[in-house]
Amino acid sequence: MAANDFDERLRASAFAYLDRLKAIHGEFLSHVDLKAFTFEDRHVSLLQHMRGIRVVSGLDAALSITTSFKSPYEDEIGPDGYFRYKWQGKDEDAYDNRSLLRAMRDQRPLIYFEGVASGVYTATYPVWIMHSEADQHRVVVALTEDLQWQRSTPDLLQHPVDLAARQRYAERIVRQRLHQPRFSRQVLQAYGYRCTVCRLRRRELLEAAHIKDDAQGGRPVVTNGMAMCAIHHRAFDTNVLGVRPDYVVEIRADVMKDQDGPTLRYALQGLDRARIVLPRRPEAHPDRNLLEERYHGFKAAG
Ligand SMILES: [Zn+2]
């Protein structure tokens, strides 16, 4: 039982360490920090180099799984909406694959690192391995505890209606937990980490705005996004600020007439009719059709 206790303590400590890193750095974590984790005076890298299954000596079950930013689509979403992770090679008895199957058998929570750029990862945790799809050399991963519980319901296939609902739910979780950070990263990178409206470069204040909301079917692609500081993102989302399809900013008429302190004067009114700053790569420019659709909504709000 001592081994299990060690396993639990190490995982809990690793999750707490990741919580602290996220509180300081946001969702994008550097491999330097992820390798610097220590547990009870022992240095324990949280991830395996580039892509792989992290096995820690003293633990039977894998601690983390990582995908490389160079092959982000190698690990995919299955028809049931659940995330799939490829084994290392095809040998079920290989050391690292065995540790993955052990994590499944013992229902140990793992960390999933997704490489989003060289040396930069997002961390999703805890995640669980639910099934092995041996013929395809991969495992099925639950990204939340409730998904794990739903999947393990034995009479799953006897309830096709529930299955469809589960699938939609699983897809939503995948979108929130995996695609959203990837979208943010790609958008901020395309805009050179500056607000497209005011050029602010403070990374900690920047966000990726959707032009067409994902709830309305907007896709998580760069051309459906714009990098904005927190205030301009909020102003865009609430139709205080609009972006015309010809890439010119408009501030809503009633807001232009308002009187207030410097934020209103400089950060909003002062930017009326300004041109947005576009990404250097033309293929990353915001989609004019999506902007037009969105701009109609802005005009209707004014
Ligand atoms: Zn701004």
Calculate how far, in angstroms, residue 127's C-alpha sits from the geometric centre of ligand 1: 35
Residue 293: the pLDDT is: 96
Calculate how far, in angstroms, residue 267's C-alpha sits from the geometric centre of ligand 1: 7
Residue 159: the pLDDT is: 45
Residue 1: the pLDDT is: 45
Calculate how far, in angstroms, residue 227's C-alpha sits from the geometric centre of ligand 1: 9
Residue 81: the pLDDT is: 72
For the chain, which ranges sit under pLDDT 50?
A: 1, 151-161
Residue 17: the pLDDT is: 96
- Tokens representing 281 are 């790569």
Calculate how far, in angstroms, residue 156's C-alpha sits from the geometric centre of ligand 1: 48
Q: Is 263 exposed, middle or buried (0-12, 13-18, 19+ CB in 10 A)?
A: exposed
Residue 146: the pLDDT is: 65
Across 155-190, b (16+ Cβ under 10 Å) vs e yields eeeeeeeeeeebeeebeebbeebbbbbebbbbbbbb
Residue 160: the pLDDT is: 47
Calculate how far, in angstroms, residue 228's C-alpha sits from the geometric centre of ligand 1: 5
Calculate how far, in angstroms, residue 210's C-alpha sits from the geometric centre of ligand 1: 15
E strands, the chain, where? 29-30, 38-39, 42-43, 52-54, 64-67, 83-86, 110-117, 120-133, 138-142, 206-210, 225-229, 241-243, 249-251
Calculate how far, in angstroms, residue 201's C-alpha sits from the geometric centre of ligand 1: 9
- Tokens representing 275 are 């041109």
Calculate how far, in angstroms, residue 44's C-alpha sits from the geometric centre of ligand 1: 40
Calculate how far, in angstroms, residue 257's C-alpha sits from the geometric centre of ligand 1: 20
Taking only the tens place, the pLDDT of each residue in 87-112 is 988 998 998 999 999 999 988 999 99
Calculate how far, in angstroms, residue 260's C-alpha sits from the geometric centre of ligand 1: 18
Yes or no: say if 6 and 59 are a contact pair by the CB < 8 Å rule.
Answer: yes
- Tokens representing 279 are 């990404």
DSSP letters, 15-26, are HHHHHHHHHHH-
Yes or no: say if 28 and 122 are a contact pair by the CB < 8 Å rule.
Answer: yes
Q: Could you list which residues have their CB under 5 Å from ion ligand 1?
A: 195, 197-198, 200, 229, 232
Calculate how far, in angstroms, residue 143's C-alpha sits from the geometric centre of ligand 1: 33
Residue 79: the pLDDT is: 73
Calculate how far, in angstroms, residue 153's C-alpha sits from the geometric centre of ligand 1: 48
CA atoms within 13 A on the CB side of 92: 10
Calculate how far, in angstroms, residue 216's C-alpha sits from the geometric centre of ligand 1: 24
Yes or no: say if 277 and 194 are a contact pair by the CB < 8 Å rule.
Answer: yes
Calculate how far, in angstroms, residue 236's C-alpha sits from the geometric centre of ligand 1: 10
Reduced 3-state DSSP string for 130-197: EEEEHHHCEEEEECCHHHHHHHCCCCHHHCHHHHHHHHHHHHHHHHHHHHHHHHHHHHHHHCCCCCCC
